[in-house]
Chain A
Amino acid sequence: MRLRDIFQITEVSAHCDLPCGVYDPAQARIEAESVKMIIQKANESDDPDFRARAIVIKEERSELVKHHLWVLWTDYFKPPHFDKYPQLHVLVNEATKLAGASGTKGTFDEGKADELLAKIAEIDKIFWETKQG
């Protein structure tokens, strides 16, 4: 054993996560609100160019909704959360479907955007309950 082994200090991480550990369903909600607004504006427009752009952006934003929900599902929520909220798996599944091809990604149905926002609100409620627990 060498003295330098003792006096050399190793950093040990007690970080909550990598890269940052910051989670918030607001990310998914804001993207979903964008999707809803795009649908409204596209439905009110007769401009084919605007509608074409709206389709592209709506698909991108819908994909981001799915991404942010999946990050919460896979990285933030843990088995104790799923034990306490057994509906959580189904909720995330339904929400991501509403942001998918059968939902806001593939349609201009404003009702789908409202359903998506309602699902995200349910996930958000559970999220903040786990934060307080």
Chain B
Amino acid sequence: MIRPGLARVVGASMEPTLHEGDLLLVLWGARARVGSLAIVRLPRDAHGMPRPVSVKRVTGTDPADPDRWWIEGDNPGVGVDSWLVGSLPRSAVLARVVLRIPCRRASFT
């Protein structure tokens, strides 16, 4: 089921598109679209620790498997994205970002 929700950005890996504290209107359960931003669940790190739910840009599908999404951060040079963890299954894309709500507040943490 697709339902709307709000998400708050923490961190700088999506700059200059998104900044710390930005508020996003998202559609939980909506299918990703190439070029759009998505809320994704990244695989666990090398120590088996879960990574937080993240916002990334969907830049395409995996050439080897069209059912998997290739995701990247907008801030080049750094970041955990598909260059590091490979493509993600559809189930790892939790929501599509619809728009950034034009108000900014400090994050909760």
Contact = CB atoms under 8 A, between A and B. Distances in A.
Given A11-B10, A12-B7, A14-B13, A80 B51 contact: no
Chain B at the A interface: mostly helix, strand, loop or mixed? Answer: loop
Contacts of A7: 6
B23 A9 contact: yes
Contact of B53 (A1, A13, A78): A13
A10 B10 CA distance: 10
A16 B24 contact: no
B6 A10 contact: yes
A15 B84 CA distance: 14
B11 A16 contact: yes
Contact of A14 (B18, B23, B26, B45): B18
B106 to A, nearest CB: 12
A1 B11 contact: no
B23 A15 contact: no
Contacts of A75: 84
Given A16-B11, A18-B80, A80-B83, A8 B52 contact: no
A5 B3 contact: yes
A79 to B, nearest CB: 6
Interface in A43-62: none
A11 B6 contact: no
A47 to B, nearest CB: 41
Interface of A: 1, 5-18, 21, 74-76, 78-80, 130-131, 133
20 contacts: A5-B28, A9-B6, A9-B8, A10-B39, A10-B53, A11-B8, A11-B107, A12-B9, A12-B10, A12-B54, A13-B52, A14-B15, A15-B13, A15-B52, A16-B75, A18-B49, A18-B52, A18-B80, A131-B77, A133-B76
